[in-house]
Structure 1
Amino acid sequence: MRLLVVLLAGLFSACTVTLEGVSLTYRLDLTPAILRFEPDRGVGATYFVGEDIRFFLTLESPGWVSLVVVDPDRRTYELDRFYLVRGTHVLPPGAYRYTLTPPRGLHRVRAIYTDTEPGALRLEGFFTDWDARLRVYLEASRALHPHVAETYFYVR
């Protein structure tokens, strides 16, 4: 079954249709925009209150990236929003820092990539359906190729 899916993806990933001398070419890009996203100590690492955390992020294409945290109390807030070029980045850039504060426990972080500027809508608050709120955010951004990657870490 997997072989069939791979063969179909390859078949449809780059097609050319020719009709009486008119050629139409289209390409379906299955490459994710975010190739790597993780805390500087690795996925699932433990940090202590007061320590700084950084994230490694590798992008396939340039675009806007929003870092959004869901803390153990289910509060959601946006850490930052950047326009980044293709390649590997350490976030936050430069001397800026993310210093960890309570609550202690599991913190999930999502990197939300959009190929268009997201606008004024922000992901902050307490959401019972986080995925529905994310869909609203992505629709408002009018991104053609959005991508979301998630990682996590613990604060002790």
Structure 2
Amino acid sequence: MRSAFVSALLLGSLGLSACTVTVRPNTELGGSGSNLITRLTPDRGEGAAYAVGEPVQFSVTVRTPGYLTLVALNPGGYASPLVQNVYVGAGTTTFPRVQDGATYNVAPPRGLQRVRAIFTRVRPTADLVFSGVYDGQRWNGATETYLRPYALADRDVQETYLYIR
């Protein structure tokens, strides 16, 4: 179980609060661009609206096997990991995975919820925990710090988003 998906974790349920935005076009982030992540979307599609309490899933498609971290950033700037350094095979994986025994349910605050996927082909050696309050600059800085040890060809970052109503 996780401590919170941007808000609160409730016995078997991970609370979400507003979701993602695509990072690949974001020129401020030096960690992306290798095109290893080909798709990241919430189950209703990017930009969809979810009522507080509704479940949400995220599909991530990668070109090669590797390690994935999903981090949620709520409208108030609080970030929390959904999964961290999880091995995924090439192709599409939907989170939460059945074997994880968790659900992601959206939770306040209402507004835009961002979810960032960070992928590396090699097992991450650093255990940087994405938890706390971030502004845009610190959010990208934490991601870049996490990715710095890996070659550009071995890492990628993307974001998606949803709205909590």
SS at match of 1:50: coil
1:77 equivalent to 2:80? Answer yes
One of 44, 49, 54 as aligned partner of 1:51:
54
Q: Show the counterpart of 1:37.
A: 40
Q: Show the counterpart of 1:96.
A: 102
Q: Which moved more, 1:67-76 or 1:94-103?
A: 94-103
Structure 2: gaps (5+ residues): 1-32
1:134 equivalent to 2:162? Answer no
Q: Show the counterpart of 2:127.
A: 120
Contact in 2 for aligned 1:78/1:122 (Cα 8 Å): yes
Contact in 2 for aligned 1:123/1:137 (Cα 8 Å): no
Please list every run of at least 4 consecutive aligned residues from structure 1 whose deviation after the TM superposition is greater than 2 angstroms.
Answer: 116-119
Contact in 1 for aligned 2:34/2:156 (Cα 8 Å): no
TM score, norm. by length of structure 1: 0.75
More strand by share: 1
Following superposition, the deviation at residue 138 of structure 1 comes to: 0.9
TM score, norm. by length of structure 2: 0.71
Higher RCO (CA-CA < 8 Å; seq separation 6+): 2
Aligned positions, number: 125
Q: RMSD over aligned Cα, in angstroms?
A: 1.5
Identity level (%): 38
Larger Rg: 1
1:63 equivalent to 2:66? Answer yes
Letter in 1 for 2:47: G
Structure 1: gaps (5+ residues): 1-29
